Amino acid sequence: MDAQTIIARRVAKELRPGNLVNLGIGIPTLVANYVPEGLKVFFQSENGLIGTGPIPEQGMAHPLLTDAGGKPISALPGAATFDSAMSFGLIRGGHVDITVLGGLQVDAAGHLANWMIPGKMVPGMGGAMDLVSGAKRVIVAMQHAAKGKSKIVARCSLPLTSARPVDMVVTDMAVIAFPDGKATLMETAPGLKIAEVLAVTEAELAIPDVVPEMKL
Amino acid sequence: MKSVSAEEAVAMIPNGASIMVGGFMGVGTPERLLDELVRQKKADIALISNDAAVPGKGVGKLFEGGQVSRMIGTHIGLNPKAQQQMLANEITVDLIPQGTFVERIRAGGCGLGGVLTPTGVGTLVEQGKQRVEVNGKTFLLETALRADFALVHAFLSDYVGNLSYALTARNFNPVMAMAADTVIVTAEHIVPVGVIAPDHVVTPGPLVDYLVVNG
Sketch out chain A's domains with CATH numbers: 3-199 (3.40.1080.10)
Distance in angstroms (rounded) separating the CA atoms of residues B103 and B120: 14
Same domain membership, residue B61 and residue B17: yes
The Cα B159–Cα A55 span in angstroms is: 36
The pTM score is 0.96
Asked whether residue B6 falls in the same domain as residue B67, the answer is yes
Query: What gap in Å lies between CA A18 and CA B37, rounded to an integer?
Result: 46
Confidence of residue A7 (pLDDT cuts 50, 70, 90): very high
* A163 neighbourhood in chain B, CB within 8 Å: 121-123
Q: Cβ–Cβ of B167/A49 closer than 8 Å?
A: yes
Mutate which of B20, B50, B76, B168 to disrupt the A interface (most A C-beta within 10 Å)?
Answer: B168
- pLDDT computed for residue B215 by the predictor: 78
> Could you say which of A14, A46, A202, A204 is catalytic?
A46
Pairing of strands A112-113, A105-107: antiparallel
- Could A124 and B124 be called an inter-chain contact, meaning their C-beta atoms sit closer than 8 Å? no
With beta carbons under 8 A apart, name residues in chain A contacting B54.
70
pLDDT in tens, A84-114: 999 999 999 999 999 999 999 999 999 999 9
Find the mean pLDDT for residues A146-154: 95
My answer on whether B50 and B74 are in the same domain is yes
Residue A25 has pLDDT above 90, yes or no: no
> Which of B75, B119, B171 to probe by mutation at the A interface, max A CB count within 10 Å?
B119
Same domain, B92 and B102: no
A63 touches chain B (CB under 8 A): yes
Q: Residue A46 and residue B76: Cβ atoms within 8 Å? A: no
Q: Is B112 found in the same domain as B170?
A: no
User: From the CA of B175, how many Å to the nearest CA of chain A?
Assistant: 8
**pLDDT of amino acid A78:** 94
Q: What is the structure's pLDDT at A119? A: 83
Per-residue pLDDT band for A35 (boundaries 50, 70, 90) equals very high
A49 in contact with chain B, both atoms CB, cutoff 8 A: yes
Which of A64, A83, A134 lies closest to B175 in CB terms? A83
Å between A163 CA and nearest CA of chain B? 5
Considering the domain architecture, whether residues B167 and B189 belong to the same structural domain is answered as: yes
Residue A153 has pLDDT above 90, yes or no: yes
pLDDT in tens, chain B (215 residues): 999 999 999 999 999 999 999 999 999 999 999 999 999 999 999 999 999 999 999 999 999 999 999 999 999 999 999 999 999 999 999 999 999 999 999 999 999 999 999 999 999 999 999 999 999 999 999 999 999 999 999 999 999 999 999 999 999 999 999 999 999 999 999 999 999 999 999 999 999 999 999 97
Q: Spell out the SS3 assignment of chain B.
A: CEEECHHHHHHCCCCCCEEEECCECCECCCHHHHHHHHHCCCCCEEEECCECCCCCCHHHHHHHCCCEEEEEECECCCCHHHHHHHHCCCCEEEECCHHHHHHHHHHHHCCCCEEEECCCCCCHHHCCCCEEEECCEEEEEEECCCEEEEEEEEEEEECCCCEECCHHHCCCHHHHCCCEEEEEEEEEEEECCCCCCHHHCCECHHHCCEEECCC
Are the beta carbons of B28 and B52 closer than 8 angstroms? no
CATH number at residue B63: 3.40.1080.10
B172 contact A CB<8A: yes
Query: Which comes out higher in pLDDT, residue A148 or B72?
Result: B72
Q: Outline where A68-112 has alpha helix (H).
A: 84-92
Nearest in space to A98 (alpha carbons), one of A26, A210, A16, A2: A16
Q: Please check whether residues B10 and B65 belong to one and the same domain.
A: yes
B55 with B126, same domain?
Answer: no
**Active-site annotation holds for A46:** yes
Residues facing B158 on adjacent strands: B191
Same domain, B116 and B132: yes
Judged against a pLDDT cut of 90, whether residue A184 lies above it is answered with yes
Packed helices B98-109 and A84-92: angle between N→C axes, nearest 10 degrees: 120
Our CA-based measurement puts residue B73 at a distance from the nearest CA of chain A, in whole angstroms, of 8
Same-domain status, B29 and B83: yes
A interface test, pick of B98, B129, B176 with most A CB neighbours within 10 Å: B98
Is the CB of residue B54 less than 8 Å from the CB of residue B178? no
B80 and B19 in a common domain: yes
Per-residue pLDDT band at A69 (split at 50, 70, 90): confident
Q: B80: which residues sit within 8 A by CB, 6+ positions away? A: B55
Domain count, chain B: 2
Query: What range does the domain containing B161 cover?
Result: 2-96+145-212
Same domain, B74 and B135: no
**Confidence category of residue A125, pLDDT binned at 50, 70, 90:** very high
Over its C-alpha atoms, chain B yields an Rg (Å, rounded) of: 17
Q: Residue A52: CB partners within 8 Å, gap ≥ 6? A: A32, A43, A44, A45, A67, A73, A74, A75, A76, A79
Between chains, do B117 and A62 touch, taking CB under 8 Å as contact?
Answer: no
Size of interface A-B (CB pairs under 8 A): 142
Interchain contact A65–B (C-beta under 8 A):
yes
Tell which residue, A134, A167, A130, A185, has the closest CA to residue A14. Answer: A167
Domain boundary among B122, B143, B164: B143
CB-based contact, A123 to chain B, within 8 Å? yes
Find the CB nearest A123 among B75, B118, B155: B75
| Inter-chain residue contact B102 with A124, CB threshold 8 Å | no
Percent of chain A residues past pLDDT 90, beyond the cut: 92
Tell me, yes or no, if A182 comes closer than 8 A to chain B by beta carbon: no
Cβ of residue B92 closer than 8 Å to a chain A Cβ: no
